[in-house]
């Protein structure tokens, strides 16, 4: 099945292939939490002599497809790296466009997310987000908070080093106020102070576009995550690619330091 998926990725039959492969993959272990670094939108646009914003907009459509498939597979949480703390360095026109995408995505697909029992969450520093972005995000969180299916977790204005520093500061404050004994501090305690404290660590990380780095994304949480990299640009990422990542994951042995 693995080779078959690889051979058919670019064919017109890829959707049919995904449908048939999905049943086989569901017989194996499905990752509970999948994280994705959605990379390559700008390069996708440049290859087509389009503005970078066109790539971001096309990538938004892929989010919908992959969210739908993850939900159908029974994935419990899908975390998407939507905007990093470093992305503010980009040109203002691009940043402004990126800040409008959550609003457009949720305005378009929120009814479907509600219908499919998907719960929307956001992690990151919300203080710097524009009011219209924050309003759209909060609306989606509120309207899906009782849903019990897939958790769609957007990492928005998120940076892992900042997250860890903030967690350490909170631990220090609690220790100073005698809410926490220093001897109690261990990996579990630190995890409880992170933005992902309500989620288990990712089982699988997918990064598109051929880059092989973590880019300040969930550095603590990815310690024992299976990593999967592909040259496919995010706007070209198809259901068969997602299934291929899971199929490869199912072939790996996760020993967590054991034998």
What is the set of active-site residues? Answer: 39, 87
CA dist 185 and 82 (Å) reads: 31
């Amino acid at each position: 099945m693995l080779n078959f998926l690889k051979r058919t990725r670019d064919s017109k039959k890829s959707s049919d292939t995904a449908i048939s492969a999905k049943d086989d993959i569901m017989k194996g272990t499905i990752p509970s939490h999948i994280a994705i670094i959605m990379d390559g939108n700008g390069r996708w646009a440049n290859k087509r002599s389009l503005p970078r914003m066109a790539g971001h907009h096309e990538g938004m459509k892929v989010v919908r497809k992959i969210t739908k498939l993850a939900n159908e597979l029974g994935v419990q949480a899908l975390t998407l790296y939507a905007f990093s703390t470093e992305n503010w360095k980009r040109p203002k026109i691009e940043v402004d466009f990126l800040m409008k995408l959550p609003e457009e995505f949720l305005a378009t697909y929120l009814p479907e997310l509600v219908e499919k029992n998907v719960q929307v969450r956001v992690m990151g520093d919300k203080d710097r987000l524009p009011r219209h972005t924050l309003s759209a995000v909060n609306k989606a969180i509120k309207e899906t908070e009782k849903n019990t299916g897939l958790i769609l977790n957007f990492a928005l204005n998120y940076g892992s080093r900042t997250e860890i520093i903030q967690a350490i500061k909170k631990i220090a404050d609690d220790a100073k106020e005698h809410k926490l004994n220093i001897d109690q501090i261990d990996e579990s305690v630190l995890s409880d102070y992170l933005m992902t404290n309500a989620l288990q660590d990712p089982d699988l990380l997918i990064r598109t576009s051929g880059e092989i780095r973590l880019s300040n994304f969930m550095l603590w949480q990815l310690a024992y995550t299976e990593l999967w990299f592909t040259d496919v640009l995010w706007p070209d990422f198809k259901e068969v690619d997602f299934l291929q990542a899971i199929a490869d994951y199912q072939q790996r042995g996760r020993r967590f330091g054991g034998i």
